[in-house]
Amino acid sequence: MRILVTGAAGFIGSHYVRTLLSGGYPGFEDAEVTVLDKLTYAGNRANLPAEHQRLSFVEGDICDLPLLLELFPGHDAVVHFAAESHVDRSIEAAADFVRTNVGGTQNVLEAVLRTGVERVVHVSTDEVYGSIAEGSWTETWPLEPNTPYAASKAGSDLVARSYFKTHGLNLSITRCSNNYGPYQHPEKLIPLFITNLLEGRQVPLYGDGKNIREWLHVDDHCRGIQLVLDKGRAGEVYNIGGGNERTNLEITHTLLDLLGADESAIRRVADRKGHDLRYSIDESKIQQELGYAPLTSFEQGLADTVNWYRDNPGWWKPVKHGAQSAAR
């Protein structure tokens, strides 16, 4: 079994590959893994085991179709994580998001088609659904993205759907809620707040802090992706969530408690443009069809994540303060 994983120098893809290589997914213990990653500011070579025998690392861009056509033959499956992933950056500069998330995904699918790779999982996000005031999204909910990031992911989902409908590609899509865990870039809310507090700095809280997100530990997300890769049906979308809905203010207070800080560490900042109020996922399909269940409780997962950042300043300080290229 040979699996090609795009974007696996980033947060979630690297967790998936580390787990895969350590034998964490039954039936895939001998998998050979090729990682294709452009090493943007978000990619970090140090997120992957340097010299693992079953890992090959290729630095390259998913927008480079000739490279994909050279690389893909001989692989049994592609798990596609590569994306521009930070909403705030998409508000300032959307072009890279459309280029990589829409154009790059189309290239990946085209290369899968032309080279005869048998199976693809396209990793997407619940943000494609927009914002929901009450209830939870099922997979048939309309796509109503509100930010350039979410719109580019929705575009990639529709391109993926078209490659299933038109070409019959053996493809499934996952849509997951917000992830947290080790190795997440400190531009994202939870690691930004943890690392600021570890440095004795304030944390910037958007608006009134009442925006609600559903949180899932990265390990549970990756297990869901693996289940979909192994047993998911072609042409289907699978939501992956954890049921842990929290306001940003609640998350902030929990982190203040875990790090021994008080209210004075909160700095209120103007709300994010297009800030979705609430995300909530109905994940009954993946539970009933594939037997998925998250294993990490939010309280334990968050405490472990705080400890990981406390114990690993050598990882996050260069990433946060701009010397990341030295860590590649």
Catalytic residues: 126-127, 149
Helix axes 248-258, 298-311, angle to 10 degrees: 50
Smallest separation, CB 203 to ligand NAD (Å): 18
Give the integer Cα–Cα distance in Å for 93 and 50. 32
- Specify whether the backbone of 33 is left (phi greater than 0), alpha (psi in -120 to 50) or beta: beta
Decide if residue 85 touches ligand NAD (CB under 6 A): yes
SS3 of residue 318 by DSSP: helix
Which tokens sit at 6? Answer: 């795009």
Smallest separation, CB 262 to ligand NAD (Å): 28
| Segment interacting with ligand NAD (CB under 6 A) among 175-183, 189-197, 255-263, 272-280 | 175-183
Exposed/middle/buried for residue 299 (C-beta within 10 Å: 0-12, 13-18, 19+): exposed
List binders of ligand NAD among 25-64 (CB under 6 A): 37-40, 42-43, 61-63
Exposed/middle/buried for residue 220 (C-beta within 10 Å: 0-12, 13-18, 19+): buried
List binders of ligand NAD among 264-293 (CB under 6 A): none
* Site of tokens 């209120």: 268
Decide if residue 7 touches ligand NAD (CB under 6 A): yes
Minimum CB distance to ligand NAD smaller for 38 or for 119: 38
Interface residue with ligand NAD, options 12, 194, 222, 259 (CB under 6 A): 12
CA angle, residues 109, 112, 118, in degrees to nearest 5: 125
Close Cβ partners of 266 (under 8 Å, ≥ 6 residues apart): 202, 203, 205, 252, 256
**Closest residue to ligand NAD, Cβ-based?**
10
Binding mask 90-129 for ligand NAD (x = CB under 6 A): ----------x---x------------------x-x----
Give the integer Cα–Cα distance in Å for 19 and 265. 36
| Segment interacting with ligand NAD (CB under 6 A) among 75-83, 200-208, 231-239, 264-272 | 75-83
Smallest separation, CB 263 to ligand NAD (Å): 27
Total binding residues for ligand NAD by CB under 6 A?
30
Interface residue with ligand NAD, options 28, 72, 81, 315 (CB under 6 A): 81
Minimum CB distance to ligand NAD smaller for 125 or for 252: 125
Decide if residue 82 touches ligand NAD (CB under 6 A): yes
Decide if residue 9 touches ligand NAD (CB under 6 A): yes
Minimum CB distance to ligand NAD smaller for 1 or for 58: 58
Residue 261 CB: number of other CB atoms within 10 A?
21
Minimum CB distance to ligand NAD smaller for 12 or for 117: 12
CA distances (Å), origin 259, targets 193, 195, 253, 265: 10, 10, 10, 11
SS3 of residue 42 by DSSP: coil
Count each helix (H run) and each strand (E run) in the chain, helices first: 12, 12
Decide if residue 154 touches ligand NAD (CB under 6 A): no
Give the integer Cα–Cα distance in Å for 273 and 271. 6
Minimum CB distance to ligand NAD smaller for 8 or for 265: 8
Q: Which residues contact ligand NAD (rule: CB under 6 A)?
A: 6-7, 9-13, 37-40, 42-43, 61-63, 81-85, 100, 104, 123, 125, 153, 176, 178-179, 185
